[in-house]
Structure 1
């Protein structure tokens, strides 16, 4: 009997081309899983939109970052998706939840090497809605530190010591009783200078889980202080509300593809404004809506 030669794994899709000139003002990097094709397409169809120009003439560009799937059919599908959209960046490591740190390191290295003149980088999950016009306007109009690390801050988080836990951190790897303040990994911003500092610190920092903790540890070693923004939603899911999504919040978490399109349709249809009272209550009102969603949803 003839022996069949083992099937070689399909090569990864070609990496996205370097940033054009002028470079994007905000480079958006979205970690995603191979099976999340519907989420990626929803981001493209809504707030991400590939390469576009936000109000004020500020260009943005969206890239999705993945690892290697377990099945050849999934890899073939990724190759076809990459050829169609040109926005997939794939690393040579298995796409698993514990590998999110390696995925984050890949996206930071790609940004530094292939898009080094972009002033700001946004890392956002593929189930997050981001108000890019509001965020880019904030970044362009404010006086920020050169090494900006901006997001929804977590304080006093303790490492998970349970060996069976999803975010297990052995004491031998990180012995301290609590992590330093860090920005929620659902969505955070790094300036170009902060990206350089985090990458310089990365080889000296153990890759603990979750990945946002690791970025925070790298930032602390580099002397980059995280800055809190209440307009970053963190892990909160704000229910569809034109005022919150259109004016107040920079990000909201845990939205499926249909919900992303629903919010986008609401804003495109002119339903993104706030009344005088809503504007006065601002983030507090949106946080109360999110709390109600969690209690009654």
Structure 2
């Protein structure tokens, strides 16, 4: 009997021993699960919840009754609500070069520009992309200038046909121009360019109204035309004056943006130390001596402040007739027509393209940021888009009259002495205004600029 009990005891111990050994593990797991369900995961554990609680305590903070709510929506939108072509392309680019999502770009913001420069091959020509019409449902109904832009808007590297070498000394900081005038014109506008050269766009040492002398340089920005006779005359004009910059693209209204982008590249190589840039059309009148006085006052105001503030001010300085809260024009009959299938939304604030001033420092920044802003068919709106991504707000000044004087104001005797720029003016009117403002009457000699 004893031997039988012993035999069964051994069997019981054989089967029960593992259960006895696993009992503490079972108790530990049960207690751990209960703790996690009640208090959350212990430090170092990874637990995936299928449903997040309404509120949470941020990591590293003590438990508190003041809990932070979860965001109602995702922080980064992966897709746009709009199906407009430009918005989609730019949304992808903005995400790709977002300094939070891609922090290495914040440390080296010129990396994209460097990559673009390295990818260029001399002699390459950019071909139109006719497959783009499949992405715009109304492509067949678009005006011809919009069709041409949409199929070539990926092309931004165009060869120089005429490149003046003696406008500035690119290596000399000391002899750098105080003002570089970059004037948009077309090949056939010979009279406008000649009037500008002889009046407000003179190149050389210019005497300001305050009696100081400052160096001014001038260039005209052009594409090409289909008229071979006019092209021949343009080359003769370039040989005579040395102030023509021409690129290998058709000179159309929607290609004006290319003149900005390509000029910033030319400026960085040929005239990088110019203090300020005037960019405007060839049918404006500019009181250049008054402009120089205005710029000298802006520099003096910066120098009287802290050094850091002065640096920031000059690096972000841009002034003109600022247009805010503008919306795209949807009327098919105007040259500014932008269809909803191409762009949706308001435009950012921008200085009117008739004429504006900005610092040379800002021009270098515009070159970099333009490499990650997709081309837009209206040049001054495109500048606003670049400024927006730089966090730069243009200054509005009432002396820039890109839409001419208000009604009846030109009749006042000293009206033309209160402006920095007025648009539009013919070559004959430029000569008349130059003579009037160069030798002001006693009553107009000390008139101040137009107030707000």
**What TM-score do the two structures reach when normalised by structure 2?**
0.56
Deviations 1:15-52 (A, max 9, x none): 34251350110111000011100000000010101233
Q: 2:388 aligns with which of 199, 215, 220?
A: 220
Question: 8 Å contact 2:257–2:377 — kept in the other structure?
Answer: yes
| Correspondence for 2:8 | none
Alignment of 1:62-211 (within 5 A): 62-142=218-298, 143=301, 145-146=313-314, 147-176=316-345, 178-211=346-379
3-state SS of 1:152 partner: strand
- Pairing of 1:14-93 with structure 2 (within 5 A): 14-20=163-169, 21=172, 22-55=175-208, 56-93=212-249
Q: Equivalents in 1 of 2:442, 2:320: separation in Å? A: 23
Residues 355 and 421, structure 2, Cα contact 8 Å, conserved in 1 = yes
Answer whether contact 2:167 2:218 (CA < 8 A) is retained.
no
The answer as to whether partners of 2:275 and 2:359 remain within 8 angstroms in 1 is: yes
CA distance in 2, matches of 1:234, 1:154: 10
For 1:13 and 1:98, the matched residues in 2 are separated by 21
The number of residues matched between the two structures is 270
Compute the displacement of 1:111 (Å): 1.6
Q: Which has the higher contact order (CA 8 A, sep 6+)?
A: 1
The CA deviation string for residues 57-90 of structure 1, in whole angstroms up to 9 with x for no partner, is 2111111111011111111000000011110010
Secondary structure of the residue that 2:366 maps to in structure 1? helix
The equivalent residue for 2:403 is 235
Q: 2:433 aligns with which of 263, 273, 277?
A: 263
SS, match of residue 209 in structure 1: coil
- Do the aligned residues in 1 keep the contact of 2:264 with 2:363 (CA within 8 Å)? yes
CA displacement at 1:275 relative to structure 2: 7.5
Question: Please, what TM-score do these two structures have when normalized by structure 1?
Answer: 0.83
Greater CA deviation, 262-271 or 213-222?
262-271
- 2:37 is aligned to none
Q: Distance in 2 between matches of 1:169 and 1:64?
A: 28
Judge conservation of contact 1:173–1:206 (CA < 8 Å) in 2. no
Q: Deviations over 1:240-260 (max 9, x none)?
A: 8763333x2110011000000
Q: Deviation of residue 187 (structure 1)?
A: 0.7
**In structure 2, how many angstroms separate the alpha carbons of the residues matched to 1:102 and 1:168?**
18
Secondary structure of 1:204 counterpart: coil
Q: For each residue in 1:107-144, what CA deviation from the matched residue of structure 2 results, as whole angstroms up to 9, or x when unmatched?
A: 22212221110111110111111111111111112235
CA–CA separation in structure 2 for the residues paired with 1:121 and 1:151: 12
Higher mean alpha-carbon deviation, 107-116 vs 183-192, is at 107-116
SS at the partner of 1:212?
A: helix
SS at match of 1:283: coil
Equivalents in 1 of 2:445, 2:287: separation in Å? 18
Query: In angstroms, what is the RMSD of aligned CA positions?
Result: 2.3
Q: 1:232 to 1:160 in 2, by over 3 A?
A: same
Cα distance, 1:266 vs structure 2: 1.8
CA contact (8 A) 1:242 1:266 kept: no
For 2:444 and 2:365, how far apart are their aligned partners in 1? Answer: 39
